[in-house]
Amino acid sequence: MRMFPPIFGGFRNALKDIEFEGYLIPKGWQVFWATGLTHMDQTIFPEPERFDPTRFENTTSVPPYCYIPFGGGARICPGYEFAKVEILVAIHYIVTQFTWKMCADNRFSRDPMPVPTKGLPIKIEPRNRNIGL
């Protein structure tokens, strides 16, 4: 499964000579301009490479419009609906073609909601050993 989505952007012409990470980019050269990378900005999201959905729970700490994965309005991603269908197909495949087994005890603590004491580690195996991954 993919950890990071592809980077969207386009090419732009440098308006003046620029030095970037020790490299000179002369005026007029075309450079790739990436959009949608504010979710990787460490000043907004500490440890951006780490999977942490809880970072979006406190909406006051996240500046507005810094993370809009599919865009919005007139510039919404044309693949938005396709991505939703694609993830549904992937989940269906994983659920129907694999067996899931918990690898830890089934105990919970309350904090204030029930939380598994050892997380939810699972072992996933193909139902049919002939399935190529």
pTM of the model: 0.41
Which tokens hold the place of 130? 């002939």
- In this prediction, residue 2 carries a pLDDT of 45
Closest CA relative to residue 55, chosen from 76, 73, 40: 40
Per-residue pLDDT of the chain in tens (133 residues, 90 and over written 9): 444 445 455 566 788 888 877 878 888 887 655 555 566 777 777 887 777 778 777 777 777 777 666 776 676 777 888 888 999 998 998 889 999 888 877 788 887 888 888 888 888 888 876 655 5
- CA contacts within 13 A on the Cβ side of 88: 6
State how far the Cα of 80 lies from the Cα of 8, in Å rounded to an integer. 14
- In this prediction, residue 92 carries a pLDDT of 92
Q: Where are the beta strands (DSSP E) in 46-128?
A: 98-102, 108-110, 114-116, 122-126
